Amino acid sequence: MTQLVHSIEARNLTKSYSEVPAITDLSFTVAPGEVVGFLGPNGAGKSTTLRILSGLLRANKGEAYIQGISVARYPERIKPLIGYMPENNPLPDDLRVIEYLKHRAHLKGLRGKKCRDRVESVLEQCDLARTVRRKLIGALSKGFRQRVGIADAILAEPAVTILDEPTIGLDPHQIIQIRKLIERLRGRSTIILSSHILAEVEVSCDRVIIINQGHIVASGTPHELRTEFFPKREFMLQAQVSSTALRQALQPFGDSITISERSNPLRTIEEHWPYYQLSLPKQSSIQSDQLLQTLTQNNISIREIHLHQPTLEDIFFAATKRSWELEIKSNQATNGTAPKETTPPDPS
pLDDT, tens digit, 9 for 90 and up, residues 318-345? 999 888 777 777 666 666 665 444 444 4
Q: Is it the case that residue 61 has pLDDT exceeding 90?
A: yes
Three-state SS sequence of 307-327: EECCCHHHHHHHHHHHHHHHH
pLDDT, tens digit, 9 for 90 and up, residues 249-306? 999 998 889 999 887 665 555 567 888 999 998 888 888 889 999 999 999 999 889 8
State the average pLDDT over residues 151-167.
Answer: 94
The per-residue pLDDT for 294 is 93
Using DSSP's 3-state secondary structure scheme, residue 228 falls into: helix
Q: DSSP labels for 105-172?
A: HHHTT--HHHHHHHHHHHHHHTT-TTTTTTSBGGGS-HHHHHHHHHHHHTTT--SEEEEESTTTT--H
Homologous superfamily of domain range 8-227: P-loop containing nucleotide triphosphate hydrolases (3.40.50.300)
Would strands 301-308 and 190-194 be described as parallel, antiparallel, or unpaired? Answer: unpaired
Q: Is it the case that residue 346 has pLDDT exceeding 50?
A: no
Who has greater pLDDT, 10 or 282? 10
The per-residue pLDDT for 229 is 92
Give the list of residues 6+ apart from residue 120 with CB closer than 8 angstroms, or none.
Answer: 129
Strand order in the sheet with 8-17: 20-30, 8-17, 61-66, 69-70
Give the list of residues 6+ apart from residue 106 with CB closer than 8 angstroms, or none.
Answer: 115
Q: What does each C-alpha distance from 195 to 31, 79, 106, 139, 333 come to in angstroms?
A: 20, 23, 30, 25, 34
pLDDT, tens digit, 9 for 90 and up, residues 89-128? 889 999 999 999 999 999 999 999 999 999 999 999 898 9
Select, from the ranges 59-63, 194-198, 284-288, the one with the highest average predicted confidence (pLDDT).
Answer: 59-63
State the average pLDDT over residues 235-254.
Answer: 91
Cβ contact 21:14 at 8 Å:
yes
Helix%, strand%, coil% for the chain, nearest 5: 40, 25, 35
The per-residue pLDDT for 249 is 94
The per-residue pLDDT for 50 is 96
The per-residue pLDDT for 343 is 44
The per-residue pLDDT for 347 is 39
Question: Is the whole-model pTM more than 0.95?
Answer: no
Q: Is it the case that residue 6 has pLDDT exceeding 60?
A: yes
The per-residue pLDDT for 4 is 67
Would strands 61-66 and 69-70 be described as parallel, antiparallel, or unpaired? Answer: antiparallel
Rounded distance between C-alpha atoms, residue 180 and residue 31, angstroms: 21
Select, from the ranges 15-29, 248-262, 306-320, the one with the highest average predicted confidence (pLDDT).
Answer: 15-29
Strand partners, 64: 10
Q: Is it the case that residue 64 has pLDDT exceeding 80?
A: yes
Domain chopping of the chain, boundaries: 8-227, 237-308
The per-residue pLDDT for 308 is 87
Least trusted range by pLDDT, from 90-104, 207-221, 227-241: 227-241
Q: Is it the case that residue 178 has pLDDT exceeding 90?
A: no
Rounded distance between C-alpha atoms, residue 237 and residue 276, angstroms: 5
